[in-house]
């Protein structure tokens, strides 16, 4: 099996793990959102990779072309990107509100403030 030939899937796995690790390990709320974004992006690349067939043409009818890429994953991912943007926007808006209410965006400090409360 050609290991490096599937390099796009290695990128997907790397980004997925890096994103998920950032979400779990970081205490900074903005960095968590960034990690979540990287995690989601890896899935976008995965979907787009599924749609491509080696040596295929864009899905526009043309004479002499028989092998086309599948356009559907791209369309799905356009939807997923919109969802991702909305999630990020909402997440960051919540961080702004949290900062207004607590004066910090570090998870540890927020927890200790809530305990004192």
Q: Binding another protein by CB under 8 A: which of 9, 57, 98, 104?
A: 98
User: Is the CB of 65 or the CB of 86 nearer to another protein?
Assistant: 86
List binders of another protein among 21-50 (CB under 8 A).
Answer: 23, 29, 32, 36, 39-40, 43, 46-47, 50
Please report whether residue 18 would count as binding another protein according to CB under 8 A: no
Backbone angles phi, psi at 65, to 5 degrees: -110, 130
Binding segment toward another protein, per CB under 8 A, in 2-10, 52-60, 61-69, 70-78: 70-78
**Max Cα-Cα span within the chain:** 73
Cα 12 to Cα 25: distance, rounded to the nearest angstrom:
20
Q: Give the DSSP H or E segment for 78.
A: helix 72-102
Q: What residues does 12 pair with on adjacent strands? A: none
Measured from the Cβ of residue 117, the count of other Cβ atoms closer than 10 Å reads 5
Instruction: Give which of 64, 61, 21 is closest to 39, Cα–Cα.
Output: 21
Which of 97, 108, 109, 112 binds another protein (CB under 8 A)? It is 97
C-alpha–C-alpha distance, residues 14 and 8, integer Å: 10
Tell me the closest approach of the beta carbon of residue 95 to another protein, in angstroms: 7
Where along the sequence are the contacts to another protein (CB under 8 A)? 20, 23, 29, 32, 36, 39-40, 43, 46-47, 50, 72-73, 76, 79-80, 83, 86-87, 90-91, 94-95, 97-98, 101-102, 110, 114
């Amino acid at each position: 099996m050609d290991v490096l030939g599937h390099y796009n899937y290695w990128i997907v796995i790397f980004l997925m793990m890096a994103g998920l690790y950032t979400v779990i390990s970081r205490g900074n709320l903005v960095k968590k959102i960034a990690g979540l974004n990287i995690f989601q992006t890896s899935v976008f690349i995965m979907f787009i990779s599924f749609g491509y067939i080696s040596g295929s043409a864009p899905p526009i009818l043309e004479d002499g072309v028989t092998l086309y890429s599948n356009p559907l994953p791209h369309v799905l991912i356009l939807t997923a990107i919109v969802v991702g943007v909305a999630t990020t926007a909402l997440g960051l808006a919540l961080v702004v509100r949290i900062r207004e209410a607590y004066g910090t965006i570090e998870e540890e400090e927020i927890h200790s403030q809530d305990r004192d409360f």
